[in-house]
Amino acid sequence: MIIDTTQALAYIIALGIAAAIPGPGITALVARAATSGPRAAFAMLGGLIVGDLVYLSLAVFGLAVIATHFQSLFIAIRWFSIAYLLWLAWQFWHAAHHELHTDALSRRGLAGARAQRRLHRGAALAMAGAAGSLALRDV
């Protein structure tokens, strides 16, 4: 399956929107800049960008393959993703307030940011719907 220019552009726009929405990565980046200075913050920014590109690309294209060849499995993954995101929303809504400790952000630079992106699964789950829509459109 080869994607055309329109599909690639749609993916790039969706990835850009997902990366631009503030989340835990931006919070960690601001904390890094405030505590360690601009050099460490730019290194972490590079890690966030690389982490997003690699992780989300693998997730989206992997899900596109599943959607193309195993449609019932993909539908199950989509419903699981919906349930997981609703559960996360419930947890966030009812969570107690905790102070942000910058000591928890002790890993520096590129490796720390990539690790932080691997821990944040919500972005990949949100992209699952987009991958399925693109893949199932031609089926």
Return per-residue pLDDT of the chain as tens, 139 residues. 567 888 878 877 877 777 777 778 888 888 888 898 889 889 988 888 888 788 878 887 888 888 889 989 988 988 998 899 898 888 888 877 766 555 544 555 555 555 555 555 555 555 555 555 554 454 4
Give the pLDDT score at 73: 92
pLDDT score recorded for residue 115: 56
Number of structural domains in the chain: 1
Q: Measured between alpha carbons, how far is 35 from 58 in angstroms, rounded to an integer? A: 32
pLDDT per position as a tens digit, 70-107? 989 988 988 998 899 898 888 888 877 766 555 544 55
Q: How far apart are CA 30 and CA 100, in angstroms?
A: 12
**Residue 44 contacts residue 29 (beta carbons within 8 Å):** yes
pLDDT of residue 102: 54
Place of tokens 């307030």: 97
Q: CA 31, CA 25: separation in Å to the nearest integer?
A: 10
Give CA–CA dist 104/109, Å, rounded: 14
Q: What is the pLDDT of residue 125?
A: 54
Q: Which domain holds residue 73?
A: 5-137
- Helix 38-69 and helix 109-119: axis angle, to 10°? 40
Q: What is the pTM of this model?
A: 0.48
Alpha-carbon distance 51 to 113, whole Å? 7
The tokens of 136 are what? Answer: 């199932």
